[in-house]
Amino acid sequence: MSVKVIIPTPLRGYAGKQESVDVQASTVGEALNSLTTRYQDLKKHLYADDGRLRSFVNVYVNDEDIRYLQKDQTQLKEGDTVSIVPSIAGGAAASNQE
Amino acid sequence: MATRIDIATAAPAALSNEEVLRYSRHLIMPEVGMDGQLKLKRAKVLCIGTGGLGAPLGLYLAAAGVGRIGLVDFDKVDLTNLQRQILFSTTDVGRPKIEAAAARLRGLNPDIQIEPHETRLTSENALDLFRDYDIIVDGTDNFPTRYLVNDACILLGKPNVYGSIFRFEGQVSIFGYSGGPCYRCLYPEPPPPGLVPSCAEGGVLGVLPGIVGALQAAEAIKLILGKGESLVGRLLLFDALAMRFRELKLRKNPECPVCGNHPTVTKLIDYAEFCGIRGEETPAPQTSVPEITPRELKDRLDRGDDLFILDVREPHEYQICNLGGHLIPLGDLPKRVSELDSSREIIAHCRSGKRSAEATQFLQKAGFRKVLNLKGGILAWSDDVDPAVPKY
């Protein structure tokens, strides 16, 4: 199944600066696995050392949070959109601290 | 948790003839009308932060006639703020933000009360500050304060109109209202400090907070009026580059430590600790890398020493200013390390010295013996050696 994974701004630098990446997958886990195999730097930003999705990164299939579906076992249909949505904190100042 | 805002039950107020004229474009639309305008006049909204998001928020809430607007900030206006913080003018540089913001909003609408709170929001003062307001609008810029605002709102049952931005992307929602989810339902934990994008990926399109802050203002005004469909249970994503809005469903997490069925957070905690940050300036863990100060570097260059300057910033930063060094962005260093000659003495630098400390450490591990980190980066070079090099 061909699905589109939308890469959020803060993580685009680790995914070839692309807005979205098309992958072949039948579950969310497969889609993310395919993505992080292609872009290995992305892996540590999505997964903790124990292999679980980080708690400040949410994944959606279309507009539903996979935590309330079947998590990484969530089935995908042709043309589904998988969104990675990390928390961002900016507002008052530029996030310009080194 | 608040299920509605009790503005309608507050003491009635009336509009003066001048106010009727000022708000006439509201009064003639049925969604606001006289009832709605009086609700706005009785409403009390607290804006956390008067920066990029706080500016359009403050301006539109004041213009709309929100009767009491509280402002919380402790910062001073600086020149880099003016690219997006439209509450301030060039003559405000150096002035406390709260003072400049209050003056601007009072000038816009003298019929409302502006309540400046010149303080850093803390676990000690948040509940007392929030208690007097109907709605809290979160326009802060860091994770500890966002979790603090969320928890304080849940503990007091106040709606939290949330907005957040990064580069050209924004998020907007309403948390802790009418049985809806809270920020912790969405993100149980903040990212560890090391993983948040560094200065190299930082920055923000100036107009972005204008759009996101205006969306927050619209949501706050709708909550007051009790009209329309609010963003409760929805996360609005905005991408200014693609010029696209998307919407995701937010669910209340029954296991949420603050608003779930069995809350474990029942009072405000230490949010710096929660976010893994101790103190304002997190000391770089790798302070042990060998360093050179800008003055020492200048002296050695003047003496004609053979030094290889390695700039590990991004190409767009190199365009702003540079020391004529060889550019290899930190992220590319592992695959481009062959461009470096380990027999020469290498001086690594970046903007402030943090990324180049990582580069120095990496090169040492890769077997380079003669690598020094330029202490304080190009910023310190500008301060101590050549003020003609612009700081950014």
Q: Which residues of B are marked as active site?
A: 199, 350
d(Cα B362, Cα B358) in Å, to the nearest integer?
6
Size of interface A-B (CB pairs under 8 A): 132
Render pLDDT for A38-81 as a digit per residue (tens, 0 to 9): 999 899 889 988 888 988 899 999 999 999 999 999 999 999 99
Q: Is pLDDT larger for residue B174 or for residue A90?
A: B174
Q: Is residue B281 part of a domain?
A: no
In a mutational test of the A interface, the residue from B79, B162, B173, B204 whose CB has the highest number of chain A CBs within 10 Å is: B204
Query: Where residue B194 sits, what CATH number does that domain have?
Result: 3.40.50.720
pLDDT at B210 over 70: yes
Q: Residue B380 — very low, low, confident or very high, per pLDDT cuts 50/70/90?
A: very high
**pLDDT given for residue B194 in this prediction:** 62
pLDDT for the residue B15: 95
Residues B299 and B188 in one domain: no
From residue B371, alpha-carbon distances to A63, B149, B307, B313 in Å are: 49, 44, 10, 17
Can you give the pLDDT at residue B276? 84
- Which residues between 58 and 87 in chain A have a beta carbon less than 8 angstroms from any beta carbon of chain B? 58, 60, 63-65, 67-68, 83, 85-87
Q: Does B376 reside within a domain? A: yes
B150 and B29 both lie in a single domain = yes
pLDDT score for B2 = 58
Structural domain range at position B100: 6-274
DSSP letter string over B253-287? -TT-TTTSSS-S--S---HHHHTT--SSSPPPTTT
B392 occurs within a structural domain: no
Which CATH number belongs to the domain containing residue A66 in this structure? 3.10.20.30
Alpha helices (H) along chain B: 17-22, 24-27, 33-42, 54-64, 97-108, 126-131, 143-156, 183-186, 207-225, 271-274, 294-303, 315-320, 333-336, 354-365, 377-384
Around Cβ B281, how many Cβ atoms within 10 Å? 8
What is the pLDDT averaged over residues B195-213?
A: 77
Is B234 found in the same domain as B156? yes
Is the domain of B248 the same as that of B328?
Answer: no
If we measure between CA atoms, which residue out of B274, B286, B295, B267 comes closest to residue B355? Answer: B286
Query: What is residue B191's predicted lDDT score, i.e. its pLDDT?
Result: 83
- CA–CA distance, B62 with B211 (Å, rounded to integer): 17
Judge whether B56 lies within some domain. Answer: yes
Residue A96 lies inside a defined structural domain of this protein: no
Give residue B282's pLDDT.
45
pLDDT of residue B288: 80
* Cβ within 8 Å, pair A91-B198: no
Say yes or no: B268 and B362 in one domain.
Answer: no
Domain total of chain B: 2
Q: What is the pLDDT of residue A97?
A: 36
Please spell the DSSP secondary structure of B147-206, one letter per residue.
HHHHHHHHHHT--EEEEEEEBTEEEEEEESBTT---HHHH-SSPPPGGGS--GGG--B-T
A95 is a domain residue: no
Please report which confidence band the pLDDT of residue A90 belongs to, taking 50, 70 and 90 as the band edges. confident
> Any chain B CB within 8 A of the CB of A93?
yes
Show residues of chain A in contact with B210, CB under 8 Å: none
End-of-domain residue from the set B247, B274, B301: B274
Burial class (CB in 10 A: 0-12, 13-18, 19+), B231: buried
Nearest to residue A35, comparing CAs of A55, A62, A53, A49? Answer: A53
Residues B375 and B266 in one domain: no
**Across the interface, do A55 and B189 touch by the CB < 8 Å criterion?**
yes
Q: How confident is the model at residue B10 (pLDDT cuts 50, 70, 90)?
A: low
Q: Looking at the partner chain, which of A13, A19, A56 has a beta carbon nearest the beta carbon of B191? A: A56
What per-residue confidence (pLDDT) applies to B279? 46
Q: Do B126 and B93 meet the contact criterion of CB atoms below 8 Å apart?
A: no
State whether residue B93 is helix, strand or coil: coil
B31 and B104, same domain (yes or no): yes
Q: Are B75 and A88 inside 8 Å of each other by CB?
A: no
Q: Which of B2-11, B23-32, B152-161 has the lowest mean pLDDT?
A: B2-11
Whole-number mean pLDDT of chain A?
89
The CATH number of the domain holding residue B324 is 3.40.250.10
If phi > 0 it is left, if psi is from -120 to 50 it is alpha, else beta; for residue B387 that is alpha
Position B283 scores a pLDDT of 46
Which ipTM was obtained for this model? 0.88
Domain count, chain A: 1
> Based on the domain organization, do B117 and B223 belong to the same domain?
yes
pLDDT for B69-82, tens place per residue? 999 999 999 999 99
Other Cβ atoms less than 10 A from the Cβ of B279: the count is 7
Rounded mean pLDDT of B272-277? 86
Task: Give how far B164 is from chain A: nearest CA, Å.
Answer: 5
A-chain residues within 8 Å CB-CB of B50?
A: 92
Please tell me which residue, B222 or B142, carries the higher pLDDT value.
Answer: B222
* Average pLDDT along chain B: 92
Establish if B256 touches chain A: CB-CB under 8 angstroms. no
Q: Do A95 and B166 touch (CB under 8 A)?
A: yes
Assess if residue A94 is contained within a domain: no
For the cut 80, the answer to whether the pLDDT of residue B12 exceeds it is: no
* Alpha carbons B238 and B205: distance in angstroms, whole number: 13
Residue B285 lies in a domain: no
Instruction: Report how far residue B117's alpha carbon sits from residue B79's, in angstroms, rounded to the nearest whole number.
Output: 22
What is the per-residue pLDDT across B289-314, written as a single tens digit (0 to 9) for each?
999 999 999 999 999 999 999 999 99
Identify the pLDDT of residue A96: 35
Specify the pLDDT at position B103: 98
Q: Does A20 touch chain B (CB under 8 A)?
A: no
Residue B247 with chain A: CB contacts under 8 Å: 63
State which residues form the domain around A60: 2-86
Domain shared by B94 and B189, yes or no:
yes
pLDDT tier at B135 (50, 70, 90 boundaries)? very high
Instruction: Grade residue B331 by pLDDT with cuts at 50, 70 and 90.
Output: confident
The pLDDT score that the predictor gives to residue B4 is 67
Q: CB B54 to CB A65 under 8 A?
A: no
Is A65 contained in some domain? yes
Residue B199 — very low, low, confident or very high, per pLDDT cuts 50/70/90?
Answer: very low
pLDDT at B202: 72
- Looking at the fold, whether B42 and B116 belong to one and the same domain comes out as yes
A68 located within any domain: yes
Q: What is the pLDDT of residues B224-267, one digit of tens each?
A: 999 999 999 999 999 999 999 999 999 999 999 999 999 999 99
Is B239 contained in some domain? yes
Is the domain of B371 the same as that of B227?
no
**Residue B356 has which token pair?**
């180049």
The reply to whether B95 falls in a domain is yes
Specify if B286 maps to a domain: no
Q: Which of these three, B274, B302, B330, is where a domain ends?
A: B274
How big is chain A by its Cα radius of gyration, in Å?
Answer: 14
Does residue B336 register a pLDDT over 80? yes
Residue whose token pair is 């509280």: B70
Q: Are residues B26 and B94 in the same domain?
A: yes
